[in-house]
Amino acid sequence: MADRLTAARTPVGHRPGRYVLRTVVTAYLFFLVAWPLYLVGRNAFAGGSASFQDILTDPDVTHALQLTVVIAVVAVVINTVFGVGISILLVRYDFPGKRALNALLDMPLSVSPIVVGLALILVYGGRDGWFGPSLEAAGFQIIFAVPGMVMATVFVALPLVVREVVPVLQEVGDEQEQAARSLGANAWQTFRRITLPSIKWGVVYGVVLSLARSLGEFGAVKVVSGNVLGDTRTATLVVEEKYLNFDKGGAYATAFLLALVAVACIIVVSVLRPKEER
Amino acid sequence: MSIEISNVGKRFGDFVALDDVSVNIPSGRLTALLGPSGGGKSTLLRIIAGLERADTGRVEIEGVDATGLPPQKRNVGFVFQHYAAFKHLSVRRNVAFGLEIRKRSKDDIRRRVDELLALVHLEQFGDRLPAQLSGGQRQRMALARALAVEPTVLLLDEPFGALDAKVRKELRDWLRRLHDEVHVTTVFVTHDQEEALEVADEIVVINEGRVEQIGSPDDLYDRPANEFVMRFLGPVTQLGDQLVRPHDLQLSTGAGDRAGVPGRVTRVTRVGFESRVGVITDDGQAVTVTLTRNELLALGTEVGDEVRIRLAPESPTTTSTTPAQSAPVSLTKKFASAGGANLTQTS
């Protein structure tokens, strides 16, 4: 309720100043985001829908698209479960090392994905990783296989759910949960019936951001995947490959598909969200 | 004995919220935990509910040792100051929550919810969301929700604290009547002494983590155990080293009257039906006397008049531990020994 009050209180500034600010922001976003994205679309359709037909009939590309979706979905599921758990831990409990954990959670945002990839190889690499050879001996291949790619994707998208859910949990407070407990609900019933519905939109938003981020992950996945055609090559890697091989039509068409899914996610959420909020 | 609290202590870091508190709360009564904010009364209530864990001591509810029990196993109803309404559930679903958890049959739940909504006068609001209710209605819903599970004890934490004065007064009367109807052992926390005196059968005064006094409203008002209780339960003024209620003081103007403390009227303020007369004693002590309008008219005092102050017979007094407050400097010469040693208390 309070945030709506603040929003309604528009600053009474100089009118010209406001227009200048508006123009600057619009121009900035236009040249940085809208125009380049539009050009990707235009280039993708430069030869009509021929580029799309090409990539969609290429079994290697369709495999890459499927792989991307599978990895993204698995990574999002993992990140959602752990993200909600970590958020509840951070907001509702006090424990030593809480600040350190909090800081650690921001690490994936600040570390370059390529570093993440290299780090994972150091730990799980099949030949001379710290943990990898023993896993490989037991029959689990992590690096240059799907598990490693999922791990890399989970790593880079880790904080997105947490950062969306934590503020919502803080705002909701724990009185409703206490009320549920006093009415006889156990921890799980309280979570499912009270906590989850009240953080629902934070979770949805976090999931969408994670999904968009996971679909688009490039650096970390490139390092750990080995980029094997038709096996561990994801959609973003296809874009790079096609671009470097002067297949610009294919590169732009694949890039357009990736961008389309991400934009669609965000549009769907922003259309749904205001309806729910009172 | 319904709720037995023995030697309960609770600290938050260095702050001692409760210091070895023992209280017995009788069955079927309406008991108030009264005290200033931060005095530990809410903590005690939350410990009874199991929402907070005591560091030391025992809590027994209806003969069952509840010290280690989680809240959901204590069968207590808890009502929060800010309602704690389940925002995503309708009023009906809110009230039904505890019953759904207990897996009662649909028919049972419907019947019981209808009953409760009627009890709290929210029959026609069942399908609304809490956000569509006023504060008073939300609190009544929260009460129905707490009563739905037929708790052994009903605990209310500053239940009317977030409401405006008028609704507060209505709900207060309503809670009293409700309690007379349902007779569930009820404990409510309040910092409003008027609320406690008006509603409760029994009052536990808690301050700085300790119980100051336990008794009926009359007990506490007429026989305060100490200065704190005296001060907290109503207006006080100091006459000599005694704390007294301003309305227990009498004024006389007769020149022949030798009894009482001599002084001079400095101020007469009328507030509705009562009048406050400020008097400076000859010792320089500022005393407030409250008179009814008629008493003031009969006395006919005006500012500057010489009067004598007497304490009405059998009025409660406590000895003040703080030094007598001296009158504002502008009204009197600075007085060195503010103690009023020559006070003669008449009774």
In a domain, A187, yes or no: yes
Name beta bridge partners: B307: B263
In a domain, B36, yes or no: yes
Query: Which CATH number does the domain housing residue A156 bear?
Result: 1.10.3720.10
For residue A4, pLDDT over 50 is answered with: no
- Residues in chain B closer than 8 A to A189 (CB atoms): 101
pLDDT number for residue B347: 33
Q: Is B294 exposed, middle or buried (0-12, 13-18, 19+ CB in 10 A)?
A: exposed
In a domain, B342, yes or no: no
Contact A206, A80 (CB under 8 A): yes
Give the 3-state DSSP-derived string for chain A, with helices as H, strands as E and coil as C.
CHHHHHHHCCCCCCHHHHHHHHHHHHHHHHHHHHHHHHHHHHHHCCCCCHHHHHHHHCHHHHHHHHHHHHHHHHHHHHHHHHHHHHHHHHHHCCCCCHHHHHHHHHHHHHCCHHHHHHHHHHHHCCCCCCCHHHHHHCCCCCCCCHHHHHHHHHHHHHHHHHHHHHHHHHHHCCHHHHHHHHCCCCHHHHHHHHHHHHHHHHHHHHHHHHHHHHHHCCHHHHHHHCCCCCCCCCHHHHHHHHHHCCCHHHHHHHHHHHHHHHHHHHHHHHHHHHHHCC
- For residue A159, give its domain range: 49-276
In a domain, B285, yes or no: yes
Is A191 found in the same domain as A63? Answer: yes
Is B274 found in the same domain as B152? Answer: no
For residue B257, pLDDT over 80 is answered with: no
**Phi, psi values for residue B202, rounded to 5°:** -145, 145
For residue B340, pLDDT over 60 is answered with: no
At CB < 8 Å, which residues of chain B contact A? 49-51, 70-72, 74-78, 80, 82, 84-88, 97-98, 101-102, 129, 131, 142, 145-146, 148-149
For B70, residues 6+ apart whose C-beta sits below 8 A from its C-beta are A181, B50
Instruction: Give the pLDDT mean for B160-188.
Output: 88
Interface test with A, best of B53, B61, B72 (most A CBs within 10 A): B72
Interface test with B, best of A1, A182, A276, A278 (most B CBs within 10 A): A182
- For residue B282, give its domain range: 236-331
Element (H, E) at B46: helix B41-49
Asked which of B228, B251, B275 is the last residue of a domain, the reply is: B228
In a domain, A5, yes or no: no
pLDDT number for residue A262: 84
Taking an 8 Å cut-off on Cβ atoms, the answer to whether A175 and B50 are in contact is: no
CA angle B113, B118, B124 (to 5 degrees): 90
Distance CA A77, CA A224 (A): 20
For residue B343, pLDDT over 80 is answered with: no
Is B288 found in the same domain as B174? Answer: no
Is B249 found in the same domain as B142? Answer: no
From the list B49, B74, B97, the residue facing A180 with the nearest CB is B97
Asked which of B178, B211, B228 is the last residue of a domain, the reply is: B228
Is A176 found in the same domain as A100? Answer: yes
Looking at CA atoms only, how far is residue A2 from chain B in angstroms? 14
Beta-carbon pairs below 8 A across chains A and B? 62
Query: Which CATH number does the domain housing residue B14 bear?
Result: 3.40.50.300
For residue B218, pLDDT over 50 is answered with: yes
Is A53 found in the same domain as A29? Answer: no
Is A157 found in the same domain as A74? Answer: yes
- Residues in chain A closer than 8 A to B80 (CB atoms): 175, 178-179
Is A54 found in the same domain as A33? Answer: no
Looking at CA atoms only, how far is residue B338 from chain A in angstroms? 50
Is B222 found in the same domain as B320? Answer: no
Taking an 8 Å cut-off on Cβ atoms, the answer to whether A179 and B78 are in contact is: yes
Taking an 8 Å cut-off on Cβ atoms, the answer to whether B76 and A182 are in contact is: yes
Is A250 found in the same domain as A114? Answer: yes
Is B29 found in the same domain as B10? Answer: yes
Is A192 found in the same domain as A177? Answer: yes
Ranking A54-68, A125-139, A151-165 by mean pLDDT, the lowest is A125-139
Is A36 found in the same domain as A90? Answer: no
In a domain, B345, yes or no: no
Looking at CA atoms only, how far is residue B9 from chain A in angstroms? 21
Distance CA A108, CA A115 (A): 10
Is B83 found in the same domain as B162? Answer: yes
At CB < 8 Å, which residues of chain A contact B? 175-176, 178-186, 189, 193-194, 197-198, 278
pLDDT tens digits for range B17-53: 999 999 999 999 999 999 998 889 999 999 999 999 9
Task: Name the average pLDDT for chain B.
Answer: 86
In a domain, A163, yes or no: yes
pLDDT tens digits for range B298-314: 888 888 888 889 888 88
Taking an 8 Å cut-off on Cβ atoms, the answer to whether A182 and B145 are in contact is: no
pLDDT tens digits for range A83-132: 999 999 999 998 999 999 999 998 888 889 999 999 999 988 877 778 87
Looking at CA atoms only, how far is residue A202 from chain B in angstroms? 15
Is A225 found in the same domain as A117? Answer: yes
Distance CA A14, CA B284 (A): 61
From the list A182, A194, A197, the residue facing B71 with the nearest CB is A182
pLDDT number for residue B300: 83
pLDDT tens digits for range A157-214: 999 999 999 999 999 999 999 999 999 999 999 999 999 999 998 999 899 989 999 9
Task: Name the average pLDDT for chain A.
Answer: 87
pLDDT bucket at A27, cuts 50 / 70 / 90 = very high
- Residues in chain B closer than 8 A to A179 (CB atoms): 78, 80, 84, 86, 142, 145
Is B242 found in the same domain as B181? Answer: no
In a domain, B339, yes or no: no
pLDDT tens digits for range B270-282: 888 888 999 999 8
Looking at CA atoms only, how far is residue A28 from chain B in angstroms? 40
* Number of domains making up chain B: 2
Is A139 found in the same domain as A36? Answer: no
In a domain, B95, yes or no: yes
In a domain, B86, yes or no: yes
Is B251 found in the same domain as B151? Answer: no
Query: Which CATH number does the domain housing residue B307 bear?
Result: 2.40.50.100
For residue B190, pLDDT over 60 is answered with: yes
In a domain, A22, yes or no: yes
pLDDT tens digits for range B94-150: 999 999 999 999 999 999 999 999 989 999 999 999 999 999 999 999 999 999 999
pLDDT bucket at A1, cuts 50 / 70 / 90 = very low
Residue of B nearest to A187 (CA): B72
In a domain, B114, yes or no: yes
Taking an 8 Å cut-off on Cβ atoms, the answer to whether A179 and B76 are in contact is: no
pLDDT number for residue B211: 94
Is A27 found in the same domain as A120? Answer: no
Is B90 found in the same domain as B215? Answer: yes
Residue of B nearest to A200 (CA): B88
Is B252 found in the same domain as B211? Answer: no
Q: Is A39 exposed, middle or buried (0-12, 13-18, 19+ CB in 10 A)?
A: exposed
Is A63 found in the same domain as A32? Answer: no
Residue of B nearest to A174 (CA): B84
Taking an 8 Å cut-off on Cβ atoms, the answer to whether B101 and A181 are in contact is: no
* Number of domains making up chain A: 2
Is B259 found in the same domain as B156? Answer: no
- Residues in chain B closer than 8 A to A4 (CB atoms): none
Is B292 found in the same domain as B175? Answer: no
Taking an 8 Å cut-off on Cβ atoms, the answer to whether A181 and B70 are in contact is: yes
ipTM: 0.78
